[in-house]
Amino acid sequence: MENKERLQEYVYDDYKVVTNFETYEDAVRYAAETGGEMVEIGFVDGSDNPLADDTAQLMNIKKPFRVGLDPEYTVYYSEDEGFQEMAQNILEEMKELEDDTLPEDWIDDQNIATGDRIIIVKDGEINTVTTRERIKYLMRGNLYEIAVKLPN
């Protein structure tokens, strides 16, 4: 795993969970290196602390995270087919609207891992481009993640 700085720890009485893995494989490697147990957690109902939650079935689909929003929203993840093209179109539209020569700066300047980017669509229109971390606060969505559980 290249960037351990991005990982977040949540400490409880008898254990801690480590979250924010860029890829599912990073979580698998981290669990193997630390002797930890892979678990699924959720930041639900506006909670800042994760709870055990396998709603998204992340281990079955081998994804590091998924977002839960109301049914009228469609979520596109950076690994989805067509995501890069959609993102490029958004950047081009921003360039035209803002008469900006480098609209991609808004993504680059956020220091966002490529895999964390998501596009939210509602009624066929792009609602927002955001990250998994911001979805909890921006749209009161649920965030489900792969985590590694370790003893304190």
pLDDT tens-place string over residues 115-141: 788 888 898 888 887 888 888 777 778
- Whose CA is closest to 132, among 110, 115, 107, 108? 115
- Taking CA atoms, 8 is separated from 3, 20, 31, 94, 139, in Å, by 12, 6, 14, 32, 21
Average pLDDT of the chain to the nearest whole number? 85
Q: What is the DSSP letter of 9?
A: E
pLDDT at 86 over 50: yes
Give the per-residue pLDDT at 88. 78
| Domains of the chain, residue spans | 4-151
- Whose CA is closest to 50, among 133, 138, 131, 127? 133
Instruction: Write down the residue that tokens 């998501």 correspond to.
Output: 118
Give the per-residue pLDDT at 138. 74
Give the per-residue pLDDT at 99. 66
pLDDT in tens, 39-78: 999 999 888 899 999 999 999 999 999 999 989 999 999 8
